[in-house]
Every structure is written in structure tokens, then in C-alpha cells.
């Protein structure tokens, strides 16, 4: 039971963490140094795991014991010593997280496999804590100061790390992806910097014609660049299966596919994140329909399926930012929002093709705008389907790096 409480505490803390990510620009020698650091991390993790497996029950190996063992590794292996001492600790902690998860699964009698920790062969990241790195005064470069020889790296990206004090950076992690290395900063989010109330409220209606329309009569266009890119992805995907399994060509097309896929999901994420943040910053309350993703995916139209992914991500970011900035994000029942008149409340039947709402009371509105007003009214009426400030979403997006390592493994 004690350990269960500990888990909840950890979860709460995670919600306070924000992860900022930059692409890294580095030459070949620096890339090799990063690879070497990533390999060392894996070595330490696996060594710790082996140490735990070989120990007897009486040894009672815990987190501290693994930490101590990692110091021994430092003395024994020069390449471990070259890695920053706190980064070595972080690697040992990875082993402990895997072990602990296994223990918890057994303890709480999780059905199915308990996930006995396994040796890792495809580690993609190295994690530093509060030492072993230094940010350049402009915050556009980072220097890794341990003896792995990574040195100074240029950071490319939009999120401004300079808005956060250095002290709030709890972890720095280098991650390998299909298109190169990335640097992630895990930042303690300062809740005292809450946004001032704006006095604005907004309702959103998602449709096919626009990405969304709001209750003020604005429309935001669908990101067409995504649709184009997705068609491209399908083409590349087909190419993979043309080649024999295990062939060089197949491996090559796989790589191309992974890169393209990554690029699109990143573009889409960037688009919805920006939209969501803007909305949360300029409104005290954001209302939207509680659409069930399952129902949405049933529709086989390609265009729609793309929108669905974007929309559900958009919603997650809305809820995430609302939670961070203490704004309200409210999901309402989607029933009849497009049929009812937002002016007099009478039902005005429409087909999907009718783009204008025209009521006998004299109200004429673009169809989605009418729906958006209804959605906002429903949220104001205090009958939200679900108050969208779930811990689940926040943890999903703001999970600590250690946790992320655990989930990607």
C-alpha cells in the first residue's frame, strides 16, 4: 500500500513537468560521441539488471544498492567514468524502474504477463540531470561538459527555453530518432506565472470544411499540407512491401518511411499545439464537443480520418494547456448542436450539404458557427459531459522523462 501512495505522488509531480524539444545540429564526430554515450547508458542499465538478477533475496537490492553499484562500474570501466556521474545514476535508475514495474505488477496482481525486466539492445537515449551540461547565454547552444566528448551542440526549434530559469531544468536528454538527434529539456512548470483572465469565452465546432469554426464567426482552415504528405506516406509504405524481407532495399525504404511519418506527425502536432495554445491564452473558457474517437474512426473517408487524428490531438493539447494555465476546457454533449438555432432554440433540420443555418426567427449564420455558439452555450449552462482536466491527459503529455523512457521501452 505504501508503494501505491508513492506512485500517486510521483504522478502528481509529473504533471508539473513540461518537456521542450529541440533538434540538434552536430557533425559526425559529435554524433559518434552521442552514440557512445547512449551505448554507455544501455551498458549501465543492463549491468545493473544483471547485478539484481544475480543477487540473492537476502541482498535486498533496491534503488540505492543499484546506485552504489553504478559507482563501482565507474571505477571498473573507463568509458563509464567518462559519462557524467549523475547521468550514470540516471542509467541505473532506468534499471530500477523496470524492476519496480515488475514488482508492482506482481504485487497488484496485474492480469497477464508481469513484464520481467529484459536486457535492452536498442536504447535510443542518454539522460543527464542537473549537471554535466551548460546552456550558452543565448540558450541556442548546449555544451556537454563530461568526458564523453560531445561538446557544444546547436539547438534548432521553436519552443523558447530561455523563458524558463536554468534552475527549473530538471533533466536534459538526447534522443535518437529516424532523422537525427534531439535534445529534450524537462522543465519544472512555474504555476505562479498564471495567465490573467481575459473575459473571453469561445465555443468550437469541428467539421470537414474547416479544421474548426468558433462561436465568434472565425474559421481555421484544415492543414492541407498534411493530407498531401499522408498520400506520399502511403506511397512509400507500399514500396516497402515490394522488396524482399531482410533486403537492403527494404531496409532503406523503411528508413524513408519512418522519416516521412515522423515529419508528418510532427507537422500535425505543431499545428494543433499552436492552435490550442493560442485559444487557451486568449480565452478563459474553451468549449468543444465530446466526440467519441471510436465513432469517428468508423467513417472510412480518408480526409476525415486525418482530421480525426488531428482533432483528438488538438483536444489533448487544449486540455493540457488549460490545465497548465488554470483555464477551463469543457467537453459538452454533441447531440443536436448543429440542428438547433443558437438564437431562439428551435430545431432547424439540415442535411450535411446545407452550409447555412437559416431560422424563421431571422437568424442566419454559417452552419458551423451556429453549432459553435450552441456548444459554448451548453458549456455555460453547466452541463458538461466531462470536465476535461484529467490527470491522464496531463501525464500523457507532460510525463517525466524517466517515465517516458519506461513507456518507450
Neighbours of 181 (CB within 10 A): 22
Q: Is beta strand 201-205 parallel, antiparallel or unpaired with respect to 285-289?
A: parallel
Min CB(348)–Zn ion separation in Å: 7
Q: How far apart are CA 6 and CA 169, in angstroms?
A: 23
Query: In the complex with Zn ion, which residue's Cβ is closer, 155 or 341?
Result: 341
Min CB(375)–Zn ion separation in Å: 16
Nearest to 18 by CA among 404, 331, 280: 404
Min CB(206)–Zn ion separation in Å: 23
Asked if 217 contacts 210 with a C-beta cutoff of 8 angstroms, the reply is: no
Min CB(363)–Zn ion separation in Å: 4
Q: How far apart are CA 214 and CA 279, in angstroms?
A: 10
Min CB(275)–Zn ion separation in Å: 30
Min CB(377)–Zn ion separation in Å: 13
Query: In the complex with Zn ion, which residue's Cβ is closer, 201 or 343?
Result: 343
Query: Helical H runs in 55-122?
Result: 63-76, 78-81, 85-107
Q: How far apart are CA 395 and CA 403, in angstroms?
A: 10
Query: In the complex with Zn ion, which residue's Cβ is closer, 132 or 203?
Result: 203
Nearest to 306 by CA among 233, 235, 370: 233
User: What does the binding site for Zn ion look like in residue numbers (CB under 5 A)?
Assistant: 341, 343-344, 359, 361, 363
Query: In the complex with Zn ion, which residue's Cβ is closer, 17 or 359?
Result: 359
Q: How far apart are CA 149 and CA 132, in angstroms?
A: 11
Query: In the complex with Zn ion, which residue's Cβ is closer, 203 or 398?
Result: 203
Burial class (CB in 10 A: 0-12, 13-18, 19+), 26: buried
Min CB(369)–Zn ion separation in Å: 14
Query: In the complex with Zn ion, which residue's Cβ is closer, 359 or 388?
Result: 359
Nearest to 41 by CA among 99, 120, 131, 102: 120
Share of the chain residues as helix, strand and coil, in percent rounded to the nearest 5: 50, 20, 30
How many residues make up the chain in this entry?
A: 409
Query: In the complex with Zn ion, which residue's Cβ is closer, 14 or 340?
Result: 340
Min CB(111)–Zn ion separation in Å: 54
| Residues paired with residue 24 on neighbouring β-strands, in sequence order | 155
Query: In the complex with Zn ion, which residue's Cβ is closer, 105 or 343?
Result: 343
Amino acid at each position: 500500500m505504501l508503494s501505491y501512495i508513492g506512485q500517486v505522488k510521483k504522478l502528481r509531480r509529473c504533471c508539473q513537468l513540461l518537456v521542450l524539444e529541440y533538434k540538434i545540429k552536430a557533425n559526425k564526430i559529435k554524433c559518434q560521441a552521442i552514440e557512445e554515450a547512449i551505448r554507455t547508458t544501455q551498458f549501465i542499465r543492463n549491468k545493473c539488471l544483471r547485478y539484481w538478477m544475480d543477487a540473492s533475496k537476502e541482498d535486498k537490492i533496491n534503488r540505492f544498492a543499484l546506485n552504489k553499484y553504478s559507482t563501482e562500474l565507474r571505477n571498473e570501466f573507463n568509458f563509464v567514468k567518462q559519462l557524467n556521474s549523475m547521468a550514470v545514476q540516471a542509467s541505473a535508475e532506468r534499471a530500477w524502474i523496470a524492476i519496480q514495474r515488475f514488482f508492482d505488477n506482481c504485487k497488484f496482481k496485474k492480469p497477464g504477463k508481469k513484464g520481467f525486466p529484459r536486457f535492452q539492445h536498442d536504447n535510443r537515449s542518454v539522460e543527464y540531470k542537473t549537471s554535466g551540461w551548460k546552456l550558452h547565454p543565448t540558450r541556442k547552444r548546449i555544451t556537454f561538459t563530461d568526458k564523453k566528448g560531445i561538446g557544444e551542440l546547436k539547438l534548432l526549434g521553436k519552443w523558447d527555453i530561455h523563458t524558463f530559469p536554468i534552475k527549473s531544468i530538471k533533466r536534459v536528454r538526447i534522443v535518437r530518432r529516424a532523422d537525427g538527434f534531439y535534445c529534450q529539456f524537462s522543465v519544472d512548470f512555474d504555476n505562479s506565472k498564471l495567465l490573467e483572465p481575459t473575459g473571453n469565452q469561445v465555443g468550437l465546432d469541428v467539421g470537414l470544411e474547416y479544421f474548426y469554426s468558433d462561436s465568434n464567426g472565425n474559421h481555421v482552415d484544415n492543414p492541407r499540407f498534411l493530407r498531401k504528405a499522408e498520400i506520399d506516406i502511403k506511397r512509400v509504405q507500399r514500396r516497402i512491401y515490394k522488396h524482399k524481407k531482410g533486403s537492403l532495399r527494404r531496409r532503406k525504404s523503411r528508413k524513408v518511411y519512418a522519416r516521412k511519418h515522423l515529419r508528418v506527425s510532427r507537422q500535425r502536432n505543431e499545428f494543433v499545439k499552436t492552435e490550442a495554445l493560442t485559444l487557451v491564452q486568449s480565452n478563459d473558457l474553451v468549449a468543444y464537443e465530446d466526440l467519441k474517437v471510436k465513432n469517428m474512426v468508423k467513417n472510412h473517408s480518408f480526409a476525415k480520418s486525418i482530421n480525426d487524428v488531428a482533432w483528438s490531438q488538438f483536444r489533448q493539447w487544449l486540455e493540457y494547456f488549460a490545465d497548465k494555465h488554470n483555464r477551463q476546457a469543457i467537453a459538452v454533449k454533441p447531440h443536436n448542436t448543429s440542428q438547433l438555432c443558437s438564437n431562439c432554440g428551435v430545431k432547424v433540420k439540415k442535411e450535411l450539404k446545407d452550409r447555412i443555418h437559416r431560422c424563421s426567427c431571422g437568424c442566419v449564420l454559417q452552419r458551423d458557427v451556429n453549432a459553435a455558439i450552441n456548444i459554448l452555450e451548453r458549456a455555460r449552462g453547466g452541463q458538461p459531459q466531462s470536465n476535461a482536466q484529467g490527470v491522464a491527459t496531463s501525464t500523457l503529455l507532460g510525463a517525466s522523462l524517466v517515465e517516458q523512457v519506461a513507456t518507450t521501452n
